[in-house]
Amino acid sequence: MSITTVGIIGAGTMGNGIAQACAVSGIQVIMVDISEAAVGKGLSTVAGSLERLLKKDKISAADKDAALARIKGSTSYDDLKAADLVIEAATENHDLKVKILKQIDAIVAPEVIIASNTSSISITKLAAVTSRPDRFIGMHFFNPVPMMALVEIIRGLQTSDATHDAVQSMAKALGKTPITVKNAPGFVVNRILVPMINEAFFVLAEGLATPEDIDAGMKLGCNQPIGPLALADMVGLDVCLAVMDVYLSEFGDSKYRACPLLKEMVAAGRLGRKTGQGVYTY
């Protein structure tokens, strides 16, 4: 099946980024959120992002206008009836996602594919709450969506080949590079990334090097664009800790034990950029 219209639940950072990527690629978008204010904010974020691309000569004024015209903002799930694919991009909360997915499932036609942009919740579990588990899949985009080339396509136990192939083709049509992943906590990228960040905290706690030198070592020695401690501050130390706790409980393997220093900093409210203090001061 070809996907020409995409519904997106959530007009926040991920939702509006996905909307922009789709619209720029010629796909019609219905972006739904709970309030007119949230929808308006999402649309203005996309307009601002496209304006910056125009100033850098990355797109033409006609391209910008055409992309914006392809995005319809709405507060009604009924508008999703026109979609071939609906992507849930709400907050990373299991109960909220289940509630939203049941609403989508009840409204859209049986052949419509439903995807979740979750970064940590089981696709198999989410698929099971819908009436179409074979047409349910994970599409994990990375922030900022318009800039980041990767999409993790996560197959639940029930996901059909046809669903996978349609979503993989659509991701490529967005100019993204999809990788196919089996359902497991953290999928691929975060499964490797967050334990690396956690290990950087152990190195810091043991006094092996300063935060600046740890980050410089990984940037210059491993060609990473940002060091793991600076990245932790950007992601949020509370988020890093929560992910490690999920891995520990899901895998039951002590290698996923969160660093005591990470726990201590979260307990102190030093969560990174969003609080003005993490490993570094902002």
- The one catalytic residue in 88, 120, 152, 183 is 152
- The one catalytic residue in 49, 88, 140, 183 is 140
Q: Which helix (H) or strand (E) holds 201?
A: helix 189-205
What's the gap between Cα 265 and its chain centre?
A: 25
Identify whether 140 is a catalytic site residue.
yes
- 66-72: Cβ within 8 A, 24+ apart: 67/20, 67/23, 67/24, 68/23, 68/43, 70/22, 70/23, 70/26, 70/27, 70/28, 70/29, 71/19, 71/20, 71/23, 71/29, 71/31, 71/43, 71/46, 72/28, 72/29, 72/30, 72/31
How far is residue 73's CA from residue 140's CA, in Å, rounded to a whole number? 22
- The one catalytic residue in 116, 117, 190, 198 is 190
Dump strand ranges (E) for the chain.
5-9, 28-32, 71-74, 85-88, 113-116, 136-141, 150-155, 177-182
Identify whether 117 is a catalytic site residue.
no
- The one catalytic residue in 119, 120, 183, 198 is 119
Identify whether 169 is a catalytic site residue.
no
Query: What length is written for the chain?
Result: 282
Identify whether 119 is a catalytic site residue.
yes
**Catalytic site residues?**
119, 140, 152, 190
